[in-house]
Amino acid sequence: MSSAYDQLLSLLRRYISQINAQNILARAIREVGIEKHQVSEAHLGELASKLEPSLRLFLRPAALASLQSELGSIGRPSAPLESISLAIKQEADIATARAQARDMCEKLGARRMTIQKLATVVSELARNIYMYSHGGTLEIHHAASPTSSLTVRAVDSGPGITNLDDIMKGNYKSRTGLGAGIRGTKRLCERFDIKTSPAGTTVEAEVAV
Amino acid sequence: MKEPNRVPIIRVWNLLLVPVQGELGDTQAEDLKRDVLGAIHTGNVEGLVLDVTGLWLIDSHLCAVLTRLAQAASLMGTRTIVCGMSAEIALTIQTMGLELGAVQTALSLEQAFERFGVRAPEGEEEDRPVLESDLASSVAKGESQ
Ligand SMILES: Nc1ncnc2c1ncn2[C@@H]1O[C@H](COP(=O)(O)OP(=O)(O)OP(=O)(O)O)[C@@H](O)[C@H]1O
Ligand SMILES: [Mg+2]
């Protein structure tokens, strides 16, 4: 990515609409007393504090906290992201997982459709962990060879899925949703494995980059 | 007082325009449904337009939220149109085989409004400034008509 400004804007865009992101950022930059093209990593701290009051208008506390933690990591020399591991306990963790999936794709220079697929897979699996188990973990790994691919691993120690056959065949009627999350996820993936027992559920889903 | 990140509901004549945006958690989804149905209940609402331009991802859960909202609105006699879906989101929903139920979709907000009988004012076509986006779309269409 080209500049600190672009990074900031693309981060904000994941939380609020383009137009709001541009306006809020323009205002914070003005308040810091610099011009758009002068924004550098040195200004990030100051910009973050100027952005906060405006962001409060748009975001729930959990989303605000997650944005702020992401703001903190802009500009830090980051090793090429090979993998991510996240605990999924609260609903806000689903949004964080999606955002991280998107980040990872962007760093890899993935196409928009790939980003969409991976983030959707992550969203489905993370929400299932949140809704049907007492919490679990979600990992995303990048493999460069034999072909570039991203693997999502969702693990929980919940009660397991009892009627997986019906769910995969589309014969299942969900009380909570459309009942199409797992089936749809499989269709987005190159490879999809699910192991489930009363001791928990593990899903491994691979998306080509 | 209104909570800061409540989804706004904008009344445009007898239509309700809801620019769905941000992270729609369970609480926000519940609030949204209650607010929209409340607004419909006050009367004189002919249509509901859910503009999803501000969403970067729609998963099956969000599809269910939108579908249920539309179903509830329909029970109260109000038709729903979803507009502003990006190509990536539309393709993902299609690949996954998600059903939007009886919810109708339109490409743009203008098209959604047109479906409810709202038309651009007379003379609009000639008088308004030509926008860059118009040029782009007429190029894309090959100016065939
Ligand atoms: N990690 C899990 N642990 C236990 N049960 C699960 C888990 N994931 C899914 N299930 C069960 O499998 C069912 C189907 O899951 P699926 O994600 O396909 O649909 P859904 O969550 O019901 O609806 P949605 O379309 O919103 O995803 C769920 O209703 C739930 O009963
Ligand atoms: Mg699900």
Alpha-carbon gap, residue A113 to A69, rounded angstroms:
26
* Domain membership flag for residue A51: yes
Asked if residue A176 belongs to a domain, the reply is: yes
CATH code assigned at A94? 3.30.565.10
The answer to whether residue A19 neighbours chain B at the CB level (below 8 Å) is: no
Of A120, A161, A163, A189, the one to substitute when testing ligand 1's pocket (max ligand atoms within 8 A of C-beta) is: A161
Residue B135's pLDDT is what? 53
Whether residues A106 and A198 share a domain: the answer is: yes
Number of independent structural domains in chain A: 2
Task: Give pLDDT tens digits for A168-208.
Answer: 999 998 888 888 999 999 999 999 999 999 999 999 999 99
Residue A49 located in a structural domain: yes
Residue A78: inside a domain: no
How is residue B108 written in tokens? 């743009």
Q: How far is ligand 2, taken at its centre, from the CA of residue A136, in Å?
A: 15
**Inter-chain CB proximity A178 and B4 less than 8 Å:** no
Give residue A2's pLDDT. Answer: 46
- In this structure, are A69 and A97 located in the same domain? no
Q: Are residues A34 and A132 in the same domain?
A: no
Same domain for A133 and A180?
A: yes
Global pTM reads: 0.76
CA-nearest of A102, A113, A125, A138 to A208 is A113
- List domains and CATH numbers for chain B: 10-119 (3.30.750.24)
* pLDDT-derived band at A26, boundaries 50, 70, 90: very high
Listed residues A53, A73, A93: the one ending a domain: A73
Q: Would you say residue A79 lies in a domain?
A: no
**Which pLDDT score, from 0 to 100, does residue A175 have?**
83
Determine, yes or no, domain membership for A20: yes
A57 touches chain B (CB under 8 A): yes
In this structure, the answer to whether residues A127 and A92 fall within a common structural domain is: yes
Identify which of A9, A51, A16, A11 has the alpha carbon closest to the alpha carbon of residue A30: A51
Q: What letters, b where the CB count within 10 A reaches 16 and e where it falls short, cover A31-63?
A: eeeeeeeebeeebbeebbebbeebbeebbbebb
- The predicted pLDDT at position A80 comes to 56
B85-107 average pLDDT score: 93
Q: Please write the tens of the pLDDT for every residue from A85-128.
A: 999 999 999 999 999 999 999 988 899 999 999 999 999 999 99
Establish whether this prediction's ipTM goes over 0.85. Answer: no
pLDDT at B130 over 90: no
Best residue of A70, A88, A120, A130 to probe chain B, by most B CBs closer than 10 Å: A120
Q: Encoding tokens for residue B138?
A: 């007429």
Same domain, A189 and A105: yes
Among chain A residues, CA nearest to B56: A14
Q: Are A120 and A203 in the same domain?
A: yes
Q: CB of B49 within 8 A of CB of B84?
A: no
Asked if residue A191 is part of any domain, the answer here is: yes
If asked whether residues A68 and A116 sit together in one domain, one would say no
Domain of A100 in residue numbering reads as 84-208
Q: How many CA atoms lie within 13 A of B8 on its CB side?
A: 10
